[in-house]
Structures are given as structure tokens and as C-alpha cells.
Amino acid sequence: MSTKVITGKNNHSSYLNANEPKTINGSKPKYSVSLIIPKDDIETVDKIKAAIELAYKEDKSKLKGNGKSVPALEILKTPLRDGELERPDGEAYQNAYFVNANSPYKPGVVDVNRLQIHVHIGSYLDKFAPAEKELRIVGKIVGNFIPIEQ
């Protein structure tokens, strides 16, 4: 089992900042995405829930802090959130979960073998970070993107 999750092809992104990091309220600039997962994508939802549970078990000492006990997983705000409850006016979030992810590192675009792809937009070449670099995909951090369809 792993805390790394590769999502399904029916998932969508919203508020994608993959080319330039964005700052929110003066915070350190980060690359980010809101990943929207249909509730009927049981396979992806189950993988995310399993990764959250594993991260919880592995990091109980961090969750304990200065207290004597670890809060129950059920009361913690986890990365997997219900779109209908938290974004009731957002059409894309209906019948869906979402995960907000961010990273100070620019995400790459890789193929299914995790080999780097160069993205051409008109005459502009955007060279993403090589896939071989240390990837930071654990938890809710933006990792590499794999194009599925054109």
C-alpha cells in the first residue's frame, strides 16, 4: 500500500496552476490544482481513502503533538472532501469529491513510463521538470501529469 495515488481518467481538474506558481493572500507561490473525482469512481475514491488511512497510521506521532492522545481519523479534515457539501454552487463539484493539492515544485508532464514529455504551445516550448527528479506526490501535493487523451 502507498500514500501515492494515480487518479482515474474520468477525473477533472479545476483552478489548475501548472505553468506559473500562484500566491494566495501573500503566501509563498505554489503550483496547485483542485482535482475533481466523480463519486462513482469507486476505484480512485477507495485508493485515496486507503492512502489517507495509511498516512494517518504512519504519522500518528506528528498528530499527537504535545497531547496525550491522537485524534480519531474520523474527526480530522482529510484531503478528500465532498464537493456537494463544500461547493454547493459549483456545478463541476456536484456528485463529486475533490482534493486540493499544491507544491512549490513545478509539476512535469510524463508518459505512462514516467518519461518526460516536452509540451509545445504554438512556437513556445515549455520544458517541465524531468520525471527523474525527486517527485513530491505524497499526500496532497501536485506531482506529474500524464496526458490520457488529446
Cα separation, 132 vs 115, whole angstroms: 8
12-105, CATH topology level: OB fold (Dihydrolipoamide Acetyltransferase, E2P) (2.40.50)
For the chain, what's the residue count?
150
Cα 42–chain centre separation: 17
Cα separation, 146 vs 35, whole angstroms: 14
For each of the chain's 150 residues, which pLDDT tens digit applies? 677 787 777 888 888 787 888 998 898 998 888 889 999 999 999 999 998 888 888 877 777 767 778 888 888 888 899 999 999 999 999 999 999 888 888 877 666 666 666 554 443 333 333 344 433 333 344 555 555 554
Using an 8 Å Cβ cutoff, are 104 and 97 in contact? no
